[in-house]
Homo-oligomer: A and B are copies of this chain.
Amino acid sequence: MKISSIVYFCLAMLPLSGAAQQGNLTQYVKPIIGTARMGHTFPGATVPFGAVQLSPDTDTIPYAVNGRYNGDVYKYCAGYQYDDPTIVGFSHTHFSGTGHADLGDILVMPTQGKVQLNPGTADRPQDGYRSPYAHANETAAANYYSVLLDKHKIKAELTTTTRVGIHRYTFPKSDASHLIVDLTAGIYNYDGKNVWTVVRVLNDSTLVGYKQTNGWARTKTVYFAIKTSKPFKNYGSKYEDGKAVYGGFWRKFDQTDNFPDLAAHNIKMHLDFETSEGEDIILKVALSPVSMKNALQNMAVEAPHWDFNGYVKAGQQAWEQELRKIQVDMLNQEDLVNFYTAMYHASMMPTIYMDTNGEYKGLDQEVHKADGFTNYTSFSLWDTFRAFHPLMNLINPSRNADMVASMLAHYDQSALKMLPIWSHYANDNWCMSGYHSVSVVVDAILKGGYKGDAEAALAACVQTANARKYEGIGPYIDLGYVPDELSGTSVSNTLEYAYDDWCIAQLAQKLGKQDIYATFSKRAENWRNLYDASIGFMRPKDSKGVFRAKFDVLDTHGQGFIEGNTWNYSLYVPHQPVEMMQVMGGAKRLENYLDSLFTMELPDKYFEHTEDITRDGIIGNYVHGNEPSHHVAYLYNITKSPYKTQARVRQIIRNQYHNGHDGLGGNDDCGQMSAWYLFSALGFYPVAPGEDAYWIGSPLVKSASINLENGQVLRVVAKNQSDKNVYVKSVSFNGKEINNFRLSYEAIKNGGDLVYEMSNKPKK
């Protein structure tokens, strides 16, 4: 019996109650959620935080055409768009939920018939190796993906280990079956993105090679090793850049066929087989950041056998173990799927970036051996510092400590002497604003997860915050804000720097570094400098101290902010919300502000300027699909109406997270959107990471057991939970009532009972 049938059977037999089945939480994972529109998730196979994300790509359109940005490429950040009619192939690296992209490396496609080395187009798949497919013939589960490739009559199944993608292709009878290995394919591709490619055929069933690209990661090399379960009878290649057919100066070989030593800008290979009806060929593709031999070693260590189903099962067991960190009862089946799919999406990135022997490529482009930690890459920190890393601190503190160690290694390797901004694959692409590494580092140290050298970590944070040449930091230090004329995102930078500075101050205080504490506590107040009391909003100010005259409070673009208008961003003072409220005019003013935010009508012309989300991703003018507002619903807790937090949180959960392929209203952003869901569903949220306080919201779970790494259990119970009972009548921890809507990590870190009494009546 094929595993796909097993998985399909499992999904079909989901229990009708909302109680998670002990020992089979993985069944609730629905990777297809978010694969339509702007969720930018991928449906393929991976294990928790795995280095390989083996997933179908439905198009590989170029990032730019003739030097001009091609807006359509944005759809393909994760390679797959649910509504597309064809599959190009299966590549091994994918971001989950990003709003810009790269990767899609080492694309493999099984075909039969004439060898075609071009993908063809979606409307003319017959011109290339791509194939139409139907969702009816597609299965996506944790660490298992399957689809029937209609054109080739080949069933494709995918699974993974941490560093190895395993493909099983069931061929029809054919004397011309092929596996295409296209090193030119890629996500956010462009002509010339491939810097160099190498393929070495070691024997009739083994290839190694690498692909070096200049994309979002400026200098990125993915090394690979491929083994086939059946020897290929023939193989060939074709270089299509016009000049790379290269046999040394003297062309002593025919390099088109069966030539085992290829190097060129753009290699495409075909491996040829004769297949009988229903014959399976299994392909193992191991990746390494360091070398081809490490890729081979990774395969030897992680994927020594050919039992495809065994790999599926092992990976699903790893998922089960990961998901079991939170066991929940929910109101219904859909919520269970949402919850565990959110767990799944929040257990993918950052990804492991280290070989089984401990070697990895550092930011300095050198090979390093990780000393006492597992190295991770792909840190989308502007997103993930908010709830993802705090979630890790709660349920995965050791893993989070390794992530912090990876960030500090990045710092050590940095010629700029900066912690990562948005780093992936031994590069920083410096995407988005702030230096939010410091939030992650500080929170991990203060919560006790990171046990490394705290003083060195503080020094790295301080050095990063003093990188004067980076994005206005110099003038920010001198003036107390980033001046409008120096940056297109002067206000969001200033607000986020101020929060990050506050984080640094907290760590400095803990370590007794009074100078640093004083300096950064002062800097933490810098948000005040851009508040324009005359209009009641944050507003760009030039270096002479003059607020920008022409200013649109609804517009997201060109107003001094990134992915947010001032309506949303003016609330971004998570570390000093009460002070912010006072500046804004007090509790009532803030409540009114929040009421307006959630209820106002955002004209279409402004929505069009709002990035990365669909129309569903906003409530009024509250933009949940982008991150700057993720703490906003919780701010009612400091007004006189905390019940509005409860109502809004429940509304956002219900409004923004659905079971379908179009279930996400915006980019999942490497698990941040999912982490928001998970915290909120458990009834609390880390408004200001670095502060020892989760803010109370409205739980969605009926009950939950959070299995802490120390073996203790934090139990959450929501009495009288129902779709109508969204209000918290009372909440207690270990029998002691919580009156301030705050929950401390210190209190819960050894487990206990968090009990909510739910009601359909707001407590005013």
State how many angstroms separate the Cβ of A420 from the closest Cβ of chain B: 11
Identity of the chain B residue whose Cβ is nearest the Cβ of A431 in the assembled complex = B250
> Do B248 and A431 have beta carbons less than 8 Å apart?
yes
> Do B198 and A195 have beta carbons less than 8 Å apart?
no
The answer, among B200, B214, B415, B422, for a CB contact under 8 Å with A196, is: B214
Identity of the chain B residue whose Cβ is nearest the Cβ of A197 in the assembled complex = B219
Question: Which residues of A in the span 427-476 have a Cβ within 8 Å of any Cβ on B?
Answer: 427-432, 469-471
> Are A216 and B292 also in contact (CB < 8 A) when A200-B415, A253-B469 are?
no
- Residue A192, interface by CB 8 Å: yes
The answer, among B252, B366, B432, for a CB contact under 8 Å with A292, is: B366
Q: How far is the CA of A703 from the CA of B516 in the complex (A)?
A: 79
- Residue A218, interface by CB 8 Å: yes
> Do B198 and A196 have beta carbons less than 8 Å apart?
no
> Do A430 and B250 have beta carbons less than 8 Å apart?
yes
> Do A428 and B364 have beta carbons less than 8 Å apart?
no
Residues of B within 8 A of A427 (CB): 248
Identity of the chain B residue whose Cβ is nearest the Cβ of A63 in the assembled complex = B249
> Do B196 and A212 have beta carbons less than 8 Å apart?
yes
- Residue A231, interface by CB 8 Å: no
Q: How far is the CA of A469 from the CA of B100 in the complex (A)?
A: 46
Listed residue (A246, A248, A367) with the most chain B CB atoms within 10 angstroms of its CB = A248
Q: How many copies of the shown chain assemble into the complex?
A: 2
The answer, among B201, B219, B292, B416, for a CB contact under 8 Å with A263, is: B219
Residues of B within 8 A of A201 (CB): 415
- Residue A529, interface by CB 8 Å: no
Residues of B within 8 A of A371 (CB): none
* Range, interface on chain A: 35 or more
> Do B415 and A202 have beta carbons less than 8 Å apart?
yes
The answer, among B291, B414, B432, for a CB contact under 8 Å with A366, is: B291
- Residue A601, interface by CB 8 Å: no
Residues of B within 8 A of A244 (CB): 214
Residues of B within 8 A of A471 (CB): 252-253
State how many angstroms separate the Cβ of A393 from the closest Cβ of chain B: 28
> Are A252 and B366 also in contact (CB < 8 A) when A195-B195, A198-B219, A261-B416 are?
no
State how many angstroms separate the Cβ of A299 from the closest Cβ of chain B: 15
> Do B248 and A430 have beta carbons less than 8 Å apart?
yes
> Are A198 and B429 also in contact (CB < 8 A) when A243-B192, A249-B216, A261-B416 are?
no
Identity of the chain B residue whose Cβ is nearest the Cβ of A202 in the assembled complex = B415
Question: Which residues of A in the span 67-117 have a Cβ within 8 Å of any Cβ on B?
Answer: 67, 100
- Residue A247, interface by CB 8 Å: yes
- Residue A205, interface by CB 8 Å: no
Fill in one digit per residue for A174-196: 1 if any B CB lies within 8 Å of its CB, else 0: 00000000000000000010011
Q: Beyond A195-B195, A219-B263, A250-B431: 6 further Cβ-contacts under 8 Å?
A: A192-B243, A200-B364, A200-B415, A248-B428, A250-B429, A260-B416
The 4 closest A-B pairs by CB, nearest first: A248-B429, A260-B415, A248-B430, A261-B415
Q: Which residues of A contact B (CB under 8 A)?
A: 67, 100, 192, 195-196, 198, 200-202, 210, 212, 214, 216, 218-219, 243-244, 246-250, 252-254, 258-261, 263, 265, 291-293, 364-367, 414-416, 421-422, 427-432, 469-471
* Interchain residue pairs with CB less than 8 A apart (10): A195-B212, A196-B196, A196-B214, A202-B415, A214-B244, A214-B265, A248-B428, A249-B430, A252-B471, A293-B366
